Amino acid sequence: MNRFIVQRITQIPILLFIVSIIIFSLLRVTPGDPVQIMMGSNSDPALEESIRHQLHLDEPLPVQYVEWISGVAHGDLGRSIRTREPVLNLIAGRLLTTLSLAVAAMILSLAIAIPVGILAATHHNSPLDYGLMFVATLAWSIPNFVVAILLVVVVSVHFGWLPISGSGNLFTDPGGSWRYFLMPVFSLGLSRAAVMSRMLRSSLLEVLRRDYIRTATAKGLRTRTVLIRHALKNALLPVITIAAINFGYLLGGAVVVEQIFGIAGIGSLLIQAVFARDFPVIQGIALFTAVTFIVANLLADFLYGVFDPRIRES
Amino acid sequence: MSSDVTKTGKVSRQSRSEFRLGLQQLIKNPLAAAGLVVILLFVLIAAFGPLLPVADPLKQHMNIRAATPSSAHFLGTDQLGRDVLARLIYATRASLLISGGAVLLALGLGVPLGLCAGYFGSWTDAVIMRFTDAILSFPAIILAIALVASLGTGIVNVMIAIGLVSMPVFARLVRASALLTKAEDYVLAARAIGVSNTRIMIRHILPSSIAPVTVQIGASFAVALIAEATLSFLGLGVQAPNPSWGMMLNDARDYLSDAPWLALFPSACISLAVLAVNFVGDGLRDALDPRYRDE
C-alpha cells in the first residue's frame, strides 16, 4: 500500500509538468498576437509592449516557460490584465464560495445516492428498482444548467419561495446564505447523485452475490446487519473513487451554475476572464482546478487503502 | 503459417458475430430501442430540417416578440419575434454536428494513441499515458472553456476543444485491450512471420477493442452534447444569430417570468437527446459487456 501511494506521489511531479506545459501552451496556440487579442485593436502600443514584456512573450519559448513556471513555483500566477490584481489574490478571494458550493453539492449527492443505491440493489429487478434507476438516468441526462433554469422558473418565478440570485458563504454565514445556495447546490448535486446511485447499486449487487454474504445470511444475521456491516463496507469503495472524480465535475459544473445564480465564485471569475481575454486569470484558474483535482484523486487512492485492508496489506 | 492466419480470421469472425449478437440484443431492450428511435428522429431533423415547411430561423418579427404558441408559430416566438420551432430545428443540426464531430476527433486521436501505447509499451506507453493523465487532471469543461478562449469561438473550435478533452478515455480503453491482445498466440505468430506493426495493430489488435469503444462512443456522445450545450449557454459555442439549444436557453433567461416556454423547449431538446443517448449507451453496455449481459 505504502509503495502504491509513494508510486502515485512520485508520478505527480511528472503530471504537474505536463499540466503546466498544457496551460503554458494555452496562450501560445492563440491564432494571431495574443496581446492584441487581449487588449483589443485600439490599444496603446506602449501598453501592449509592457504587457508583452510582463508575460515574457518577447523572449524565446523555453525562456518564457522557465520564467512562467518559476513564478508559479513561488506562488506568482501573474497579474490580471483587466484589474491588474495578482491572480492568486483573485482566486483566493472567491475560493471559499466555490468550495462551499462544491462541498455542499457533494454532501447532498451522497445523501441522495446512498439510500437510492441501497434501495435499488436490495429490490433488484423489482418495479422500485426500475423506477429509481429510470429517475437516476433521467437526472443524469439533464445538464445542471437546465435543472437550474427549471428550478428558477418553478421555485423562484412561479412560487417565489427562494431568491433567484445572491451570494454568501456557507461556512462562515450558514444561517444567512443557505437561501441563496439551496437551488445552486441542488442543480449541481443532482446529476452526481444519479451517477453515484447507479454506481452504488451495481457495486452492491456484485457484493451481495459473494459467498461471505451468503455465509453471513446463513448463520442467521439480520438482513440489515448483513447489508450495513458486511456488504455496504465493500460496496462503498468504488464510490470513494467516483466521489473524487465527481469533485472535479463539481468544480467544472460550478462555472455555469455560478453564472446562472449570480454567485461570485471561481467559475464566474473564469467566464469574466474568458470574455475579457484575460489569459493570466484563465491560466491561473486552469492550474488551480487541475491541482485540486489531482490532490482529490490522490486522497481517494489513499482513502481506498485506509478503508480496504486488502489494498493496504498488498 | 496458413493455420495461424485462419485462426486469426476465426477470432475476428467470432468477435464480429458476438458484436452482431450484441446489437440484436440492443434492439430487444425497450429503453435502448426507444432511445434509438429518438436519436434517429433528431438525426433526420438535423439532416432534412431545412426542407421542412418552417419559417426562417433568423428572420425577426418585432411586432410578435415572445408570442405564445399558436397555429402560426407552433412553439411561439422568441424575444426578437423569431420562430422557436424553426430555431430548434436548425439548432439540432449545430448540436449534433459539433457533438458528432467532437466524438469522431476523439476517436481519431485516441484510438491510434491507445493502440501505439498498448502495442509498443515502454517509453511510447509512458509518454502517451502521462499525456492523457494530464488532460484527465483537468475538470473537462474547464479545459474546454480554456481551449475555446485560446482558439476562439465557433463551431470548429468548439468541436476541437470537446474532441481533445474526450480523447484520453478512448486512448485508455484501446490501450487496455491492446495490452491483453498483444500477448495472444495469433499476434505473436503474426509478428514471427514478419507482418508489419501497423498491420498487426489494425488487423489483429484493433478488433478486440471494438466492443468497449462502441460502448464508450455512446457515453462520450452524451458528454459532448452536454459540453456543447454548456459552451453555447455560456456564449462560447455557436455564435448569434445562428441558433443552438444552449444559446436559446441562455437567451430565455431574461424572460423566465413572462415567457417561460422559451426556456422549456430547448431544455426539453437537450435533455431528451442526452437521455436517448444514455439509454442507447446503457443498452450497448448491457449487450456488449459480458458482465452485464448475464444479469
ipTM of the prediction:
0.86
**Residues A110-143 pLDDT 10s:** 999 999 999 999 998 899 999 999 999 999 999 9
Contact (Cβ atoms closer than 8 angstroms) between residue B276 and residue B39: yes
Phi, psi dihedrals of residue A155, rounded to the nearest 5°:
-75, -45
- Chain B residue with CA closest to A288: the answer is B138
pLDDT tops 80 at residue A190: yes
Are the Cβ atoms of A289 and B149 closer than 8 angstroms?
no
Q: Does A261 touch chain B (CB under 8 A)?
A: no
A279 vs A193, residue with greater confidence: A193
Q: In this model, does residue A48 exceed pLDDT 90?
A: no
pLDDT band at A3 (very low <50, low <70, confident <90, very high): confident
The pLDDT confidence band at residue A42, using thresholds 50, 70 and 90, is: confident
Closest CA relative to residue B274, chosen from B237, B234, B221: B221
CA A157 to mean position of chain CA atoms: 29
In this prediction, residue B291 carries a pLDDT of 58
> By CA distance, what is B128's nearest residue in A?
A18
Size of interface A-B (CB pairs under 8 A): 137
Phi first, then psi, for residue B36 (nearest 5°) are -60, -40
SS3 B77: strand
A289 contacts in B (CB within 8 Å)? 138-139, 142
Give me the pLDDT at residue A7, please: 77
| Interchain CB contact of A259 with B (< 8 Å) | yes
- Average per-residue pLDDT for chain B: 87
- Per residue in B133-171, pLDDT tens? 999 989 999 999 999 988 888 899 999 999 999 999 999
Say whether B134 and A30 touch across the interface (CB within 8 A): no
Q: What is the pLDDT of residue A221?
A: 87
Asked whether the beta carbons of A265 and A98 are under 8 A apart, the reply is yes
Given A26, A141, A256, which is nearest B146 (Cβ)?
A26
Q: With an 8 Å Cβ cutoff, is A176 touching chain B? A: no
At residue A170, the pLDDT reads 66
Residues from chain A contacting residue B234 (CB–CB below 8 Å)? 255-256, 259, 271, 274
Residue B51 has pLDDT above 80, yes or no: yes
Residue B292, min C-alpha distance to chain A (Å): 10
pLDDT for A111 equals 94
Question: Lowest-pLDDT range, A238-247, B89-98, B252-261?
Answer: A238-247
Cell of A164: 433567484
3-state class (DSSP) for residue B97 = helix
- State the average pLDDT over residues B3-17: 50
The arithmetic mean of pLDDT across residues B190-210, rounded, is 90
- Give the gap in angstroms from C-alpha B261 to the nearest C-alpha of chain A: 10
- In a mutational test of the A interface, the residue from B132, B137, B172, B289 whose CB has the highest number of chain A CBs within 10 Å is B137
Q: Residue A173, Cβ neighbours under 10 Å: how many?
A: 10
**Would an 8 Å CB–CB cutoff place A307 in contact with chain B?**
no
When CB atoms are compared, the residue of B142, B149, B275 closest to A255 is B142
The answer to whether A14 contacts B130, with C-beta atoms less than 8 Å apart, is yes
Between CA B148 and CA A43 the distance in angstroms is 23
pLDDT tens digits, B214-257: 889 999 999 999 999 999 999 998 888 889 999 999 999 888 88
Interchain CB contact of A285 with B (< 8 Å): yes
In chain A, residues 3-22 whose CB comes closer than 8 Å to chain B: 11, 14-15, 18-19, 21-22
Q: What is the pTM of this model?
A: 0.87
Mutate to test the interface with A, among B29, B129, B141, B236 (most CBs of A within 10 A): B141
User: Average pLDDT, stretch B101-113?
Assistant: 96
Task: Identify the band that residue B2 occupies on the pLDDT scale cut at 50, 70 and 90.
Answer: very low
For residue A44, the model assigns a pLDDT of 80
Kindly identify which residue of chain A lies nearest to residue B142, measuring between CA atoms.
A252
Q: Cβ separation of A18 and B131 shorter than 8 Å?
A: yes
Q: What are the pLDDT digits (tens) for A192-214?
A: 999 999 999 988 998 888 898 89
Q: How far is B289 from chain A (nearest CA, A)?
A: 14
B8 has a pLDDT exceeding 70: no
Chain A residues in contact with B151 by the CB 8 A cut-off are: 29-31
What pLDDT was estimated at residue B259? 87
Alpha-carbon distance of B76 to B248, in angstroms, equals 13
pLDDT tens for A81-90 read 888 899 999 9
pLDDT of residue B12: 52
Burial class (CB in 10 A: 0-12, 13-18, 19+), A7: exposed
Asked whether the predicted pLDDT for residue A314 surpasses 90, the reply is: no
pLDDT in tens, A58-92: 888 888 889 889 989 998 888 888 888 999 999 99
Check whether the bond before A31 is cis (ω within 30° of 0).
no
Is pLDDT above 90 for A176? no
Instruction: Provide the pLDDT for residue B1.
Output: 36
pLDDT score, position A313: 64
Residue A169 · residue A100 · CB < 8 Å = yes
Q: Which of A149, A282, A286 sits opposite B249 (nearest CB)?
A: A149
Residue A36 pLDDT more than 80? no
Confidence band of A171 (pLDDT split at 50, 70, 90): low
Give B282's contacts in chain A (Cβ within 8 Å).
Answer: 137
Could you say which DSSP state residue B69 is in? Answer: P
Residues of A in contact with B253 (CB under 8 A): 149, 260
User: With 50 as the cut, is the pLDDT of residue A259 above it?
Assistant: yes
Contact: A274, B278; criterion CB under 8 Å? no
